[in-house]
Amino acid sequence: MTNANIKNSNSGEYKSFKKSKLIGSYTLTTFLILGSVIMIVPFVWMVLTSFDWAARLNIPFPPRFWPKEMTTKTYEAAFTNIPMLRYMFNSLIISIGVIAVSLMSALLSGYAISKLKFKGSMIVLVLALSTMMIPFEMTMIPQYLLFSKIHLLDTYWAFFLPALNYAFGTFLAKSFIDQIPSSLREAAIIDGAGEFKVFFKIYFPLCVPIIATMVILQFLAVWNDLLWPLLALKTPDKYTIQLGLAMFTYNKTTPLPSIIMAATTVSLIPVITLYLFLQRYIVESIALSGIKQ
């Protein structure tokens, strides 16, 4: 075979490979766009329905994507009939407490497993991760009975104490800290620093990307949780936003779709705002640790 024939053959193979790669890219993009539309359309419909005064008694069928009677009275009615600010404040307090407790627990345990290399450290990690295989529905009754015995039901401690066990956060922190050179710790110890000083002065500031990731994950989990607040809280003034909306919907004999949609839209604002502020750190943590959330 001549050089010209070999060159033509290689050129043909390259064009064929490039064409198949281009087709695969277009196909993937199409599926991603379709998936995005499927996820975004219900959200857009919820927001637009929340401005539809005509939908305050019944959800229109077939669904319409533009309000028949555009108004903000649905939001006024939501804040009038539902103590939204109180519920959101309760959820915020619980979220901040749970995030603070779970983050410190996960970061300290992740640092210890990654850098201290004590005997049986990997066994501890595996045992902690194994708790993730147990569904919450199996542990909620024993947990409820335990907090009932120690008289911590209907208090925020019923949320803060379980946050001490954040196994997934420990795994994330350990994976991220593994990427940070151990020489930083060794140099600090040679200079006379203790382990806590090494962690808080050196490793903690470097863990900002993974901290942002865990904050988002925990905030979403706590803010959207309904089952445990339903069991743990009895006083209406302590209800979280999800529990408050659920109770409002349950206690109404006449459904108020657009008003409920308005209240739900308001409840999503803190989650979206937090994500927009922290998304660049989440991307950075994924890039550095190689972990897909």
pTM of the predicted structure, to 2 decimals: 0.82
The three-state DSSP-derived secondary structure of 126-168 is: HHHHHHHHCCHHHHHHHHHHHHHHCCCCCCCHHHHHHHHCCHH
Q: What CATH number did the domain enclosing 93 receive?
A: 1.10.3720.10
CB 89 within 8 A of CB 156: no
Total domains present in the chain? 2
State residue 270 phi and psi, 5-degree precision. Answer: -60, -40
Is residue 63 domain-shared with residue 205, that is, in the same domain? no
| pLDDT score, position 73 | 85
3-state DSSP assignment of residue 79: helix
Please check whether residue 281 lies inside any domain of the structure. no
Within 10 Å of residue 60's Cβ, how many Cβ atoms?
A: 14
User: 68 and 89: one domain?
Assistant: no
Residues 53, 86 within the same domain: no
Average pLDDT by consecutive 10-residue portion of the chain (293 residues)?
Answer: 53 63 82 88 85 72 73 86 92 95 93 85 84 88 93 93 91 89 88 88 89 88 92 92 88 72 89 82 59 45
Q: Are residues 52 and 195 in the same domain?
A: no
72/75 Cα distance (integer angstroms): 5
Q: Give yes or no: residues 29 and 166 share one domain.
A: no
* Cβ atoms within 10 Å of 103's Cβ, excluding its own: 20
Whether 173 and 93 share a structural domain? yes
End position of a domain, from candidates 73, 97, 120: 73
Give bridge partners of residue 52 from the DSSP assignment. Answer: 70
Task: Please check whether residues 56 and 181 belong to one and the same domain.
Answer: no
Residue 146's pLDDT is 93
58, containing H or E segment: none
Three-class SS state of 52: strand
Residue 259 lies in a domain: no
- 263 found inside a domain: no
Q: In terms of residue numbers, what domain contains 20?
A: 9-73
Residue ending a domain, among 73, 94, 120, is: 73
Q: Does 160 share its domain with 29?
A: no
Give the number of other Cβ atoms within 10 Å of residue 258's Cβ. 30
Integer Cα distance of 238 and 244 in angstroms? 9
Query: Where a domain ends, among 25, 51, 73?
Result: 73
Q: How far apart are CA 204 and CA 173, in angstroms?
A: 10
Looking at residue 70, what DSSP letter applies? B
Within a domain: 163? yes
